[in-house]
Structure 1
Amino acid sequence: MLRRLDLPPVWMALSGLTMLLIALWTPWRFDADLWGWLAMLLGAGAIFLAAPQFLLAATPIMPRNDPDKLLTTGIFGFSRNPIYLGMLLILLGWGLILGAPPALLIPFGFAALIDKRFIREEEGRLLARFPDQAPAYLARVRRWL
Structure 2
Amino acid sequence: MPFILSLYDPYKGQGNLSGLIPLAVGLVILLWCVRDFYVSGKGTLAPWDPPKHLVTVGLYRYVRNPMYVGVLFILLGWTISTASPLIFGFTLFLFIAFYLRVKTHEEPWAEKMFGTEWEKYKNNVPRWLPQTKGYYPTNRR
Determine if the TM-score, normalized by the shorter chain, exceeds 0.5. Answer: yes
1:63: Cα distance to partner? Answer: 4.8
Structure 1 segments of 4+ aligned residues over 3 angstroms from their partners? 63-67
Consecutive unaligned residues of structure 2, counting only runs of 5 or more, are: 130-141
**Aligned match of 2:120:** 136
Higher-helix-fraction structure: 1
Distance 1:39 1:116, change over 3 A: same
Number of the residue aligned with 2:137: none
CA contact (8 A) 2:41 2:54 kept: no
Unaligned segments of structure 1, at least 5 residues: 1-13
Paired position in structure 2 for 1:78: 62
Amino-acid identity (%): 23
CA RMSD after TM alignment: 2.0
**2:84 matched to 1:100?**
yes
Question: How far apart are residue 112 of structure 1 and its match?
Answer: 0.7
Q: How does 1:33-112 map to 2 (within 5 A)?
A: 33-34=17-18, 36-65=19-48, 66-112=50-96
SS at match of 1:131: helix
Matched position secondary structure for 1:133: helix
Contact 1:22 1:100 in 2 (8 A): no
8 A contact 2:41–2:51 mirrored in 1: no
Q: Number of residues paired by the alignment?
A: 127
Counterpart residue type for residue 115 of structure 1: Y
Could you state the TM-score of these two structures normalised by the residue count of structure 1? Answer: 0.76
Label 1:132 to 1:37 Cα distance change in 2 as closer, same or farther (>3 A): same
Q: Which residue of 1 aligns with 2:138?
A: none
Q: Which whole-Å CA distance do the structure 1 matches of 2:44 and 2:65 have between them?
A: 11
Q: How far apart are 1:64 and its partner, in Å? A: 3.4
